[in-house]
Structure formats: C-alpha cells, structure tokens
C-alpha cells in the first residue's frame, strides 16, 4: 500500500468515526445530518452504529432517517444485524428493527416475525410486527398470519386497533373467515373491532372512528354482552 493509499484510508476511517459520533450528538439536527450523510455514503462499518442508535434515538424524524440510512446499505450487511435486534430486550430496539425490516422488504426476514412479537406486550413493538408481517409474509401463508393477527382483536386504543385492522385488510379476502369468527366472539370489544375491520375491508375509505363506534353499538345489541379481553 502506498503512502497516498494509507492517507486515504486514514481519512476514510476518521470520517466514519466522526459520523458515528455525530449520531450520538446532543443536537437532534446534528444527528439528523449525520444519519443523512451515513445513508448517502454506505459503508459496512456504519451498520452496527445505526442499529444501536435506533434503539435509543428519542426523535421520530431522526429514527426515520436512521431507517432510511440502513435501507441504503446492502441487505447482506443489514439483515443479520436487524434479525438479531428483533430479539433485543429494548422495546424500541425491537420496534425499530421490525420497522426497518418492513421498509427493506426482504422476505428472508420473515422467520423473525414470531407469534411472540405479534403479541408483544409493548404496543409499538406489536404494531411494528403487524406491519412487517404483512410485507414479509410468503405467498401461501397469509391465512395462517391472519389467524395469528386475529388473536389481537380488541387490544388497545384507537391507534393500536386501527393498525391491526389495516394490517389485516392488507392481506385481502383471506381474512374473511377469521373476521366472521371474531364477530361472534364473547367479548364486545373483540366483536366491535372485527366488525369495524369488515367495514374497512369492504370499503377502505371508511372512516375508522365511525366504523368502530357503529360496530360497538352492533356488538352490544347483537352479541352475548360479555366483557372481552
């Protein structure tokens, strides 16, 4: 290696180190610029730092740029790190890794979408898992995924329920049998959520809030009237 090549390598090493430090800067605008620069010039040395930062970054827009930067790297570099991170003890780490997998869209990530993640106690993790699942599910396994997602009917508040309904609707008509089953479930929350999802499937432009309120009334009037989960 010539002296010129050594100088170039040293300069590149310093740049990588500087950008990695920038991802941890106190200023969110500095972190955002650093993530943009990292994504603009992919390098395998950035990947571990990007994944680690996703787990702790407090600002939404910076997290979004971190995901973009990861997606700019070859899948061969990012996929192993993301598959490891979905098993992290950090909820934000799991959620962001799942979000990034959904953006990359490589179906080799499908085995990471476990029932445990689809029912994760942390709402953001579960929602990210639902979105990733419908992107990564292999052809022919949509029915099984729909049945797994249906176990989450009635969970959480508006945003959580809307996320689940949107994920199910994205699977298409394969969800019809699980919706029919859920509309006769004992719990009114489950029935209402399933009925609202039926409306969204028939008419994707339906306002979810109106659909869920109407479905609640129907569920209470027509169902057994027992409290759900």
CA distances from 21 to 31, 33, 35, 50 (A): 9, 12, 11, 11
CATH topology of domain 1-136: 1.25.10
Kindly report, residue by residue over 104-123, the tens digit of the pLDDT.
999 999 999 999 999 999 99
Domain map (residue ranges) of the chain: 1-136, 143-229
47 token code pair: 């990947």
State the pLDDT at residue 229: 36
Residue 95, pLDDT score: 98
Alpha-carbon span 39 to 17, nearest angstrom: 15
Distance CA(143)–CA(16), nearest Å, equals 45
CB 150 within 8 A of CB 168: yes
Look at residues 103, 93, 15 and name the one whose alpha carbon lies nearest to residue 48. Answer: 93
- Does the pTM surpass 0.75? The reply is yes
At residue 215 the predicted structure's pLDDT band, cuts being 50, 70 and 90, is: confident
Which DSSP category does 111 fall into?
G
Which pLDDT does position 35 carry in this prediction? 98
pLDDT at site 227: 38
Tokens of 109: 């990530």
Which spans in 47-157 are helix H?
A: 47-54, 60-71, 75-85, 91-104, 115-118, 123-136, 142-150
pLDDT tens sequence across 163-198: 999 999 999 999 999 999 999 999 899 999 999 999
Q: Which of 115, 87, 118, 85 is nearest to 100 (CA)?
A: 85
Rounded distance between C-alpha atoms, residue 97 and residue 104, angstroms: 10
């Amino acid at each position: 290696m010539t002296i010129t090549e050594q100088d170039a390598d040293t300069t590149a090493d310093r740049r990588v180190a500087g950008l990695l430090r920038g991802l941890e800067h106190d200023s969110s605008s500095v972190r955002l610029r650093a993530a943009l620069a990292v994504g603009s010039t992919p390098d395998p040395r950035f990947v571990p730092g990007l994944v680690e930062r996703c787990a702790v970054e407090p600002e939404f827009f910076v997290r979004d740029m971190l995901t973009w930067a990861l997606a700019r790297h070859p899948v061969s570099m990012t996929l192993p790190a993301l598959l490891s991170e979905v098993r992290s003890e950090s909820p934000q780490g799991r959620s962001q890794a799942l979000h990034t997998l959904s953006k990359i869209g490589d179906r080799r990530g499908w085995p990471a979408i476990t029932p445990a993640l689809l029912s994760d106690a942390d709402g953001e993790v579960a929602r990210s898992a639902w979105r990733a699942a419908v992107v990564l599910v292999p052809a022919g396994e949509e029915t099984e995924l729909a049945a797994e997602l249906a176990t989450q009917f009635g969970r959480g508040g508006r945003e959580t329920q809307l996320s689940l309904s949107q994920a199910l609707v994205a699977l298409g008509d394969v969800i019809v049998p699980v919706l029919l089953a859920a509309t006769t479930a004992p719990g009114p929350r489950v029935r209402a959520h399933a009925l609202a999802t039926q409306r969204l499937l028939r008419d994707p432009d339906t306002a979810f809030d109106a659909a869920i309120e109407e479905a609640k009334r129907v569920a209470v009037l027509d169902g057994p009237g027992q409290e759900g989960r």
